[in-house]
A and B are shown apart, each in its own frame.
Chain A
Amino acid sequence: MTPTSPLIAKRRGRSAVFGLSLLRFLAIVATTYFGLLAVTFFIGRVIPIDPVLAVVGDRAPAHVVERARETLGFNLPLYQQFFLYMKAALTGDFGISVLTSNPVLTDIRRVFPATMELATVGTLIGTLLGVPLGVLAAVKRGSLVDQVVRVVGLVGYSVPIFWLGLLALLLFYARLQWVAYPGRIDVVYEYSFTPVTGFYLLDSAWQGQWDVFRDVFRHIILPAGLLGYFSLAYISRMTRSFMLNELSQEYIVAARAKGLSESRIIWRHALRNAAVPLITVIALSYAGMLEGSVLTETVFSWPGLGLYITNSLQNADMNAVLGGTIVIGSVFIGINMVSDLLYRTLDPRTRAR
């Protein structure tokens, strides 16, 4: 009788736990998707807008409306429609957007990079300014700097973005002419470069089209700046409180006693430890922007996912709405996974567990 070595037993236990958690994870993802689809689908069918109108237009004669209703299957019972939709969606067919006459996937492939570019620039601005400001506020707790950062954060938190957006447009576009009119690129620059990645800043720079790059920059800076400001408000507050927590720990006292310089203590020790929860904060704020900042995109006519879904919803273009919802759901799940991974890399303790 050779008892299994405790080490092997532990390993087995670990892989079993891992398998189980993977299964649980998949189950959660599947349920989330199903719920997402079901809710959106049924909301889309019960809103008092006839989706056929979006297909044939306001002025279509009655027989054309009826025929379209049958072709689209809207005369079937709801559960059958849902089943048919699920079947198509599982094979990756999200149908045709009636608003744009394009396959929904083609549309999303075009609008999503716009949202992603805006969110990325916004998050970069928010993080690059928000983290140092938060650190500063924590280090100089109670000082004037702290108060200023607090007020800036409070304003960013509480002022509605569409209002600030309109004011910013009035000032920077209408009065000062520093930035360009809402939109992603001036219409006269259409076709002057080939979008490869869909990130216009990258594309134009890559192709050496510097006048286009400048135009794109003049378009993106204001909405991205606003989004950045809002995430700055959030990120700086969170950084401050994480930092305060770290700075009151005993290892900081130990480091000081050891004679380390203040900047080394703050950046290498305290911030390093505060970074772990901070990653989640930044990731969530990024995900929030990726789901399409509907108001920002509306105010700045930004042809992104938020505007696309809003337009589709208003026209009861349910294929487009459902497709968009799935993309957003996936982005959220994806970003959560990535931030979990980052967690493990940054915090050695989670790796050991």
Chain B
Amino acid sequence: MTLLQFGTSLRAATAGATLALMAFSAAPVFAATPNDVLVQALAIDDIITMDPGEAFELSAAEITGNTYNFLVRLDLADTSKVKGDLAESWTVSDDRLTYTFKLKPGMTFASGNPITAKDVAYTFERAIKLDKSPAFILAQFGLTGDTVAEKAKSVDDTTFVLTVDKAYAPSFVLNCLTATVAAVVDQKLVTENAKPMTATDDYKYDTDFGNEWLKTHSAGSGAFTLREWRANELVVLERNPNFPGEVAKLGRVIYRHMKESAGQRLALEAGDIDVARNLEPGDLDAVSKNGDLGVTNATKGTLYYFSMNQKNENLSKPGVSEALKYLVDYDAIGSTLIKGIGEVHQSFLPKGVLGQLDEMPYKLDPAKAKELLAKAGLPDGFSVTMDVRNTQPVTGIAESLQQTFAQANVKLEIIPGDGKQTLTKYRARTHDMYIGEWGMDYFDPNSNAETFTSNTDNADTGTNKTLAWRNAWNVPELTAKTQAALLENDADKRAEMYRELQKSVLAEGPFGVIFQQIAVAGVRKNVKDYKLGPSFDTNYVFEVAKD
């Protein structure tokens, strides 16, 4: 073979190979998901466990809401109320200390085991004894490892009795029972998979209550069961044929981890996914203009706010926090940075929660802010830093704040950081200012009131590390008011007490609430009845169907 021949044959071979590759790749595209499978794109990197007794992350809550049932669930028609789920009915004693729940008869878990009041009692027992992140939601009724067996117990197969330590508002107790930590687990199945432990001073029990197994499995009675969770990759749910209600129409629901909005949009347009859950304003706009796609949304209980550490001598001067709240361009932020994914909101209770307050006293007013700063002894402004996690929309909002603060000579220096990095600093309260989000721990006004207005010990060694503590806001009066609201029997009066607390925070609190999150989903047109709920654990997929 001569050199020339060699060159020719090489070229031919290369061209041939390329053509072959292209032909193979260009085979007809399978650009639609099967009809009984729903594929959702969602950033699921927050999930660290699937055990309802331990999980406290938003994405995990959505899975729990679909794989478990509860004694009571939020009434989606009016979210200031609850309705029975596993419980057929319940009564509250006159002294408001005893709650008696009657279960619906004849229900079974996904495993086929019957659902009894014993399972409910076991759910309480393991949550309290494991004492993981969400356990305080139940523990705050005075339940401890020693008393839980007595205070949360089954009387017979269908009667469960809960005894609380104070005459709490019944709305508070019932709202807490809708939290994912109260998701009823299958005692028989969990016990079979429990791991023996050595009891120590810190952990007094000889079993892990199935914690390790439940991290990656489900043991509930929800419309779906958990088939697999692969961290940062996917979550797969499969239909539970033993579901006590109407059996799900979909055979499989897949959550695909995708972090980028642009990537989700591409995949949605191509038909590789059915639902895109993390769309940013620009992509959302494009999706809503596409005839094959639709958009659905729901207001969520998550607030975005900036806070001012009262350890900083400038930020703690009277009137400074108010001045900074006048230096936020709420209109501009609302119409651009959070367009479609949030609405401007200034008080600490999100819309949809008992006691919500719609007042919005603040708007961008540099003159007023300058006046307040002069009164505080800072006529020439001051310099301050803000810790900002490097994700949208907070980065954009921080940059907007930087510009508007400058209008009153407040020089804002942004310290960008990874989410966990800024949070570590915030928790140690070594920040000046912080911008971030706050999601409700459970769907009751006390959840936010406690964190924004209660600070039982302002020392650095304080153990109740609420947001008020993190910003060194020492408010014994508001702390007392918050506790009083918890014991108010009358729901209307209770709501009024929370409105007053919100007004105090609006006026003088070191928190500037900017907006409330709206969850949006881009959905392909052939997906029917896809709805987002007011919280992550109410993002139900059991009614969804596909054409």
Contact = CB atoms under 8 A, between A and B. Distances in A.
B332 interface: no
Interface size class of A (residues with CB under 8 A): 35 or more
B464 interface: yes
Interface of B: 1-3, 5-7, 10, 14, 21-22, 24-27, 29-31, 33-34, 37, 39, 45-46, 48-49, 56-57, 131-133, 135-136, 202, 212, 215-216, 227-228, 230-234, 236, 254, 256-258, 263, 266-267, 269-270, 272, 417-421, 423-425, 427, 439, 441, 463-465
A187 B234 contact: yes
B48 A214 contact: no
Main SS of chain B's interface residues? mixed
A221 B269 CA distance: 22
Contact of A62 (B31, B234, B463): B463
10 tightest A-B CB contacts, nearest first: A100-B231, A60-B133, A263-B1, A50-B424, A62-B465, A101-B215, A181-B272, A178-B25, A49-B420, A262-B3
Interface string A74-98: 0000000000000000000000011
A261 interface: yes
B48 A101 contact: yes
A101 B231 contact: yes
A315 interface: yes
Residue from B14, B31, B56, B232 with most neighbouring chain A CB atoms (10 Å) = B232
29 contacts: A47-B421, A49-B418, A49-B421, A50-B423, A57-B133, A58-B46, A59-B441, A61-B136, A64-B131, A67-B202, A98-B48, A101-B49, A101-B212, A101-B215, A145-B7, A172-B25, A173-B266, A177-B270, A178-B25, A180-B272, A181-B270, A182-B263, A186-B272, A187-B256, A188-B37, A188-B254, A263-B6, A314-B418, A314-B420
A274 interface: no
A303 interface: yes
A55 interface: yes
B136 to A, nearest CB: 6
Contact of B56 (A59, A62, A218, A263): A59
Nearest to A64: B133
A282 interface: no
A303 B230 CA distance: 10
B37 A101 contact: no
Given A64-B132, A187-B234, A58 B423 contact: yes
B541 to A, nearest CB: 15
Contacts, number: 153
B462 to A, nearest CB: 9
Nearest to B136: A61
Nearest to A182: B263
Nearest to A60: B133
B232 A99 contact: yes
Contacts of A314: 418, 420
Given A57-B133, A188-B39, 15 more contacts: A50-B427, A53-B423, A54-B420, A56-B133, A61-B133, A61-B465, A62-B463, A71-B202, A97-B231, A129-B14, A140-B7, A174-B270, A188-B33, A214-B27, A263-B5
Given A53-B420, A315-B420, A178 B22 contact: yes
A188 B253 CA distance: 10
Nearest to A187: B254
A283 to B, nearest CB: 24
B381 to A, nearest CB: 29
B417 to A, nearest CB: 8
A63 B242 CA distance: 39
A292 B485 CA distance: 55
A232 to B, nearest CB: 11
A136 interface: yes
A53 B424 contact: yes
A221 B18 CA distance: 12
Given A178-B25, A190-B254, A221-B21, A101 B267 contact: no
Contacts of A145: 7
A316 interface: yes
